Amino acid sequence: MTLSEELLRKSIHLASVVIPLTALLVEKTLLVVVLAVAALALLLVDYLRLRNQGFKAFFLSAFGELLRKHEKQGGITGSTILVASAALTILIYRQETAVAALVFLSLGDSMAALVGRRYGRVKLVCGRTLEGSLAALISCLFASAVLLLISPVFHWNLTPPVLIAGSVTAVLVELIDIPLDDNFRIPIISGLVMELLIPG
């Protein structure tokens, strides 16, 4: 994937920050249902790509530049996994945990890719770079500061240690070489760490 294609893909990924923002305003059950339906619809599109050559050709002509190699070959798209993981994250965690974990996914993962592709020099694992991982950590910590500011408004129990632990976990989880999409493992695992550390 070229740098321009990566920029376009991550710009859309960054826009997924609308999901945790919506979680601040929309009732939990309703949002989970909407996201679950959206995930099922996206999964149906993925299935049609695999089973129908005509639909696959149309889909690739429209969205091919946004897809990674395994997605073009019939794998589930990152968008489908992202929406599904957002539904699960919001379902199983309290509001502040879900919002923080999904913000870390939207901002941290996007910044890691954009900075890593453009400025990355020091190679880590799984194609990641030190520069990209630091950019992800800084963006997650910045988001944490904003979340701490609004925490009293929503009566959250977020604390600096909780958010720092969640930020570090989100960055480290992206470096793990396991057959589980980072759109799923980042919010679920970082959310779990924060959920365990939140007082009360």
pLDDT in tens, 143-180: 999 999 999 999 999 999 999 999 999 999 988 877 78
Q: What is the mean pLDDT of residues 170-199?
A: 91
- What is the total count of domains within the chain? 1
- Tell me the C-alpha distance between 123 and 103, whole Å: 25
**What residues have CB less than 8 Å from 91, skipping those under 6 apart?**
28, 32
Residue type for 14, please? Answer: L
Residues linked to residue 129 through DSSP beta bridges, in sequence order: 123
Question: What is the pTM assigned to this prediction?
Answer: 0.90
pLDDT top residue among 175 and 27 = 27
pLDDT at residue 103 tops 90 = yes
Helix (H, G, I), strand (E, B) or coil at 62: helix
Distance of alpha carbon 9 from alpha carbon 13, whole angstroms: 6
User: What's the CA gap between 199 and 86, in Å, rounded?
Assistant: 23
Higher per-residue pLDDT: 143 or 126: 143
Provide the residue range defining the domain that includes 184: 3-197
Confidence check: pLDDT of 1 > 60: no
Report how far Cα 184 is from the mean position of its chain's Cα atoms.
Answer: 7
What are residue 123's DSSP bridge partners?
A: 129
The number of helices, as runs of H, and strands, as runs of E, in the chain is 11, 0
- The SS3 call for residue 123 is strand
DSSP, res 129: B
Which residue bears the tokens 């991550």? 10
Token pair, residue 175, equals 């470096």
Torsion from C-alpha of 27, 145, 111, 194, nearest 10 degrees = -60
Residue of 95 and 71 predicted with greater confidence:
95
The 10 Å Cβ neighbour count of residue 109 is: 28
Is residue 141 over pLDDT 70? yes
pLDDT (0 to 100) of residue 163: 98
Confidence of residue 2 (pLDDT cuts 50, 70, 90): low
Which residues does 169 contact at the CB level (< 8 Å), separation at least 6?
A: 189, 190, 193, 194
Side-chain half-sphere of 128: how many Cα atoms within 13 Å? 22
